[in-house]
Amino acid sequence: MNTKNLLLTALLSSSLALFACSSDTDQTNNKDSNANTSQETEDRVLTDALGNEVTIPAKPERVIATYLEDNLVALGITPVAQWTVANGKQEYLQEYLKDVPTIAHDLPLEAVSSFKPDLLIMDSAAMVEGGKYNQYSKIAPTYVIGEEENNDWREELKQIGEIFGKEAEAEKVLDEYETKAEAAKKQLQESHKGESAAAVWLVNNSLFMVSENLSSGAVLYGDLGMAVPDVVKEVSASATGNWSAVSLEKLAELDADHLFLINSDKETGSEMLKDPLWANIPAVKNGNLYEFSRDSSWLYTGTIANSQIIDDVLESITE
């Protein structure tokens, strides 16, 4: 199941409250950076993923970019509104967005219009289906980032950089992330070479496993080079999104050295975790279970989210 749809379903049915930058430099570097990353001085026409020619304002100041807030924040851009579901929002970004009002995840037209945006950026084609694109574009220029539900976050960041005339800054952010990920990978290879890991999400007394190449799975296996357990490979083979439902019986077969648990049921008792099958999962039995709250970044993706996941992994495994 797609992560966004899964998050919405879980939150709407349970009323859970979800949770789903650059370092300072010296004055000389700041001048160089400003020269390289300054916004455009006149309107430009860019073609989005759906082939729409979109007139981008010279200096967009009232932006709504649902599901793309991580990218905006990484580039020092504050949206005029941030998405929310059942009174929940991306808690891991609230250090940056605490004063930003919320808007419903499905972007009701009247609500969008009330914010008087000068630019709308849509995460996927699905968000503008059924004639919605024409309706949104009457409110503000509307740019669709990608055709898929799960677009490559690196490419999304680059596109956000292009939209705002911050291509150089986007490359800098990516370079810093790759440097951090490579250093973490090296550290893990030196201290835990060949060890495997898996990430599981408990919500509404149901379990979901992250796919091998998406979301936090892409961080664990792609960026950090941890080994992929057989059960994760099996579940990922038939996955249609970031997180897939998995039974406790299947999890009992999980051959992972380390298990990361995102527990959205903690406030309601986490009944699933009291089952003897859970206690017999090797990583749990061996004391290599690391639990994180629904407020963490593990259910999201982007420079900031993934960087926090790397920190979590290192603090859990190497300390």
| pLDDT tens string 156-208 | 999 999 999 999 999 999 999 999 999 999 999 999 999 999 999 999 999 99
Structure tokens belonging to residue 167: 């291509």
Residue 18: per-residue pLDDT: 35
Contacting residues for 6 by C-beta, under 8 A, at least 6 apart:
208, 241, 242, 243
Q: Is 243 helix (H, G, I), strand (E, B) or coil?
A: strand
Among candidate residues 161, 179, 157, the one with its CA nearest the CA of residue 301: 157
Residue 87: per-residue pLDDT: 60
Long-range contacts of 228-231 (CB under 8 A, 24+ apart): 228/196, 229/196, 229/197, 229/198, 229/254, 229/255, 229/256, 230/255, 231/198, 231/255, 231/256
- The average pLDDT across 294-315 equals 96
Residue 40: per-residue pLDDT: 58
- The average pLDDT across 236-244 equals 91
Structure tokens belonging to residue 159: 């596109």
**Lowest-pLDDT choice from 15-19, 39-43, 74-78, 119-123:** 15-19
**pLDDT tens, 206-218?**
999 999 999 999 9
16 against 139, higher pLDDT: 139
Helix, strand, coil in percent for the chain, rounding step 5: 45, 15, 40
> Are 119 and 96 contacting, i.e. CB atoms less than 8 angstroms apart?
no
| Residues 259, 246: Cα–Cα separation, whole Å | 14
| Residues 308, 304: Cα–Cα separation, whole Å | 6
User: Is 181-317 the same fold as 39-164?
Assistant: yes
Residue 250: per-residue pLDDT: 96
Residue 151: per-residue pLDDT: 78
Q: Where are the domains of the chain?
A: 39-164, 181-317
Residue 168: per-residue pLDDT: 98
For the chain, give the mean pLDDT.
89
Any idea how long the chain is?
319
pLDDT of 13 strictly over 50: no
DSSP bridge partners of 121: 143
pLDDT of 15 strictly over 80: no
Residue 6: per-residue pLDDT: 56
For the structural domain made of 39-164, what CATH number should be given?
Answer: 3.40.50.1980
> Are 261 and 217 contacting, i.e. CB atoms less than 8 angstroms apart?
no
CATH architecture of the region 181-317:
3-Layer(aba) Sandwich (3.40)
pLDDT of 20 strictly over 60: no
**Lowest-pLDDT choice from 13-27, 159-173, 239-253, 281-295:** 13-27
Residue 285: per-residue pLDDT: 96
Q: Is 58 helix (H, G, I), strand (E, B) or coil?
A: coil
Among candidate residues 94, 90, 156, 82, the one with its CA nearest the CA of residue 124: 156
**pLDDT tens, 71-110?**
999 999 999 999 998 767 899 999 999 999 999 999 999 9
User: What percentage of the chain carries pLDDT values higher than 90?
Assistant: 81
DSSP bridge partners of 142: 120
Return the axis-axis angle of helices 167-192 and 27-37, rounded to nearest 10°: 120
Structure tokens belonging to residue 76: 């020092």
CB atoms within 10 A of CB 248: 15
Among candidate residues 2, 16, 1, 13, the one with its CA nearest the CA of residue 89: 16
Residue 95: per-residue pLDDT: 95
| Residues 100, 94: Cα–Cα separation, whole Å | 9
| Residues 52, 50: Cα–Cα separation, whole Å | 6
Residue 5: per-residue pLDDT: 53
Residue 191: per-residue pLDDT: 94
